[in-house]
Structure 1
Amino acid sequence: MGEVFRLATVNDAERLLHITYDAYVTIRELNLHWPAANATLALIQENITTNECYLLEVDGEIKATITLSKSDDIKWVTDLPFVKWFAVDPAFQGKGVGGKLLNWIEETIIRDKLGAPAVTLATAEKHPWLLPMYERRGYERIRAFDKGNGDGTMHLLRKIVNPALFEHYLRQKQEQVISD
């Protein structure tokens, strides 16, 4: 099985739209207000051009996608890299494809390319399996918040990808608090 990890291009937008829409069925059923759940082709194209949208191809076909946010609108929650819009073709869910892409993002992009100590993401408490899935993958809850939009309690999760660098990051944060 040939696997290719790469950045998405706008030429991938139509396929990513189908994968994302099909993968986010539970999000729509729960009436969560996540942009990816009801994304249009234009929104997918915007995501590709304004963020780093990565994908995993298996035997030449896109099977999973995840986005590294480049937006400043997440800075109120975290100063660490933030991933979003994680979707796996439903026919490939439970087969390790999503895990491979997430591992690759955590290690190759977050740790090695960006040199970041950790990665963050957010998910809804009321989703029946996302929170436990991320916790099994080593993510820990670091902040709960409610945006008041009907989604209920959301959890910011963090996974440390470089422990030594994370210790340095924490020391810097503590020094910053002391100097403020």
Structure 2
Amino acid sequence: MSERFRQAGVKDAERLHEVIYEAYSLIRELGLHWPAANADVTQIRDNIEQNECYVLEADDKIVATITLSKGDEVKAVTEFPFIKWFAVHPGEQGKGYGDKLLTWVENAIIRDKVGAAAVTLGTAEKHPWLLPMYQRRGYESIRAFDPGNGDGVMHLLRKVVDSAAFARSREAAGEVGAS
């Protein structure tokens, strides 16, 4: 079996739509207001063009995707990059693809390419397994809030991907000893 990480192009929009739509079925069932949950092919294409969308292919078929946002979703709260639209096709779940893609993006993209000390993402407390999954991966909640849209408590999570650079950034911000 061959696996390959790469940045998505607009030619991938239809397959990404299938992966994301199928993967986000629980999000829709929970009534969460996440843009990716109901995105159509045009919105998927816009996401690819406006952000950095990455995929993991297994045997030349996209099985997982994640987006590094180029927008301003959390700029007022954190200076670190924000990832979103993380999905593994349900038929491919349980094979480690999500773990591999997220680890690759955290290291090869966030730490090595972008040069950031940490990465952020958001998730809902009412989702039955996402928050604990991210916490097991080393993410910590840095802000909990209720957006008032019926989603309940949301968490902005952060994971340090370069400890030395993170310590330097905290020192520069006057937060010596802060994590």
Distance 1:16 1:138 in 2: 27
After the TM superposition, which residues 10-25 of structure 1 pair with which residues of structure 2 at under 5 Å, given as runs? 10-25=10-25
Q: Structure 1, residues 75-118: CA drift from partner, whole Å, max 9, x if none? A: 12321010000000101111100100000000000011111100
Kindly indicate whether residue 133 of structure 2 is the aligned counterpart of residue 133 of structure 1. yes
Q: Secondary structure at the match of 1:73?
A: coil
Distance 1:17 1:112 in 2: 28
TM-aligned CA deviation for residue 142 of structure 1? 1.0
Distance 1:172 1:21 in 2: 42
Identity %: 65
CA RMSD of aligned residues (A): 0.9
One-letter code aligned to 2:131: L
After the TM superposition, which residues 1-180 of structure 1 pair with which residues of structure 2 at under 5 Å, given as runs? 1-174=1-174
Q: Structure 1, residues 122-145: CA drift from partner, whole Å, max 9, x if none? A: 000000000000011111111101
Distance 1:94 1:78 in 2: 32
Q: Secondary structure at the match of 2:5?
A: strand
Distance 1:53 1:74 in 2: 18
Alignment TM-score, normalising by the size of structure 1: 0.95
Alignment TM-score, normalising by the size of structure 2: 0.95
Distance 1:74 1:89 in 2: 27
> Greater share of helix residues, 1 or 2?
1
- Gaps of at least 5 residues in structure 2 are none
Larger mean CA deviation between 63-72 and 138-147 belongs to 138-147
Q: Which runs of 4+ in 1 moved over 6 A?
A: none
